[in-house]
């Protein structure tokens, strides 16, 4: 793959089998299963340092696309090439253990993101301060709200070393204060020329942070172009 390319998707499709009722073992041999294609023939190249926004209605395939890039799920057909270390904020619960404290989860999640114990200790206070939940850092995670988990997850990711950051609308769970902090942190990522893929329904935010946009509809690419052109067409539709 070209050195200037961070992500390449070639002819990616993803199929799910829908079961509307749970059949018995015998019935399952004869019941016709319904196929649902979450993605169809997706071809996409994301260059290093590019900021790609992804838009589309609910069910368009946005989250499935991100999960394939991250490696959470495999495509039914096609090839995925990713060059560089990926950090994702897709599932707030991913990598977290509810019975462990916030502090313990920082160390476990940090290790899962490829940080060394030394790096985690060095960045520990910065992570906690950025999250704004120091008062609760010694309490079990099952006592945290979704917003507090988001704060902790984003803060750990923000202080890890990565080449590609993938965000799936997670900032919608946070309050205004933390949204401002997280967007300021993203500006730092832009200056560092990190590759960012950002799924959001907030078009104003996408205009501010993304240089390029991908519009998905029913699992297919409608348009891949500059942010201004895609948003104009999207709103017009």
Task: Specify the pLDDT at position 92.
Answer: 58
Query: What residue ranges define each of the domains in the chain, with the CATH number in brackets?
Result: 1-20+37-84+195-237 (3.40.50.300), 85-162 (1.10.8)
Backbone phi, then psi, for 117, in 5-degree steps? -60, -35
Q: In what order do the strands lie in the sheet with 77-82?
A: 34-47, 5-18, 77-82
The pLDDT of residue 20: 63
pLDDT at 87: 86
Whole-angstrom distance, CA of residue 115 vs CA of residue 225: 35
| Model pTM score | 0.83
CB 167 within 8 A of CB 175: no
Query: Digits of tens for pLDDT over the chain (237 positions)?
Result: 678 999 999 999 999 987 666 666 655 655 667 889 999 999 999 999 999 999 999 899 999 999 999 998 999 999 999 999 998 877 656 678 999 999 999 999 999 888 999 999 999 999 999 999 999 999 999 999 888 888 898 899 889 888 999 988 765 556 788 888 888 888 888 888 889 999 988 898 899 889 899 999 999 999 999 999 999 999 998
Q: What is the pLDDT of residue 218?
A: 95
Looking at residue 123, its pLDDT comes to: 95
Residues 6+ apart with CB under 8 A from 87: 113, 157, 160, 162, 164, 165, 166
CA distance 149 to 58: 23
How many Cα atoms are found within 13 Å in the side-chain-facing hemisphere of 37?
12
pLDDT for 177 equals 83
Q: Distance between CA 95 and CA 59 in Å, rounded?
A: 25
Counting DSSP H helices and E strands in the chain, the numbers are 7, 9
The predicted structure's pLDDT at residue 146: 82
Identify the three-state secondary structure at position 197.
Answer: strand
């Amino acid at each position: 793959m070209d050195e200037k390319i961070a992500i390449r998707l070639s002819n990616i499709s993803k199929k799910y089998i829908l079961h509307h009722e749970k059949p018995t073992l015998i019935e399952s041999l004869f019941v016709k299963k319904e196929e649902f294609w979450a993605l169809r023939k997706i071809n996409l190249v994301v260059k290093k340092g590019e900021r790609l926004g992804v838009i589309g209605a609910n069910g368009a395939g946005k989250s499935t696309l991100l999960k394939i890039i991250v490696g959470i799920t495999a495509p039914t057909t096609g090839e995925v090439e990713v060059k560089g270390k990926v950090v994702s904020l897709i599932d707030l619960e991913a990598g977290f253990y509810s019975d462990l404290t916030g502090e313990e989860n920082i160390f476990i999640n940090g290790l899962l993101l490829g940080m060394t114990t030394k790096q985690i200790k060095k960045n520990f206070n910065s992570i906690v301060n950025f999250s704004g939940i120091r008062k609760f850092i010694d309490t079990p995670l099952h006592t945290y709200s979704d917003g507090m988990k988001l704060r902790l997850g984003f803060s750990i990711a923000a202080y890890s070393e990565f080449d590609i950051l993938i965000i799936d609308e997670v900032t919608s769970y946070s309050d205004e204060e933390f949204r401002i902090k997280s967007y300021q942190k993203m500006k730092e990522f832009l200056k560092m020329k990190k590759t960012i893929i950002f799924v959001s329904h907030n078009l104003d935010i996408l205009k501010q942070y993304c240089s390029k946009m991908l519009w998905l509809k029913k699992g297919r690419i409608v348009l891949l172009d500059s942010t201004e052109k895609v948003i104009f067409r999207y709103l017009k539709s």
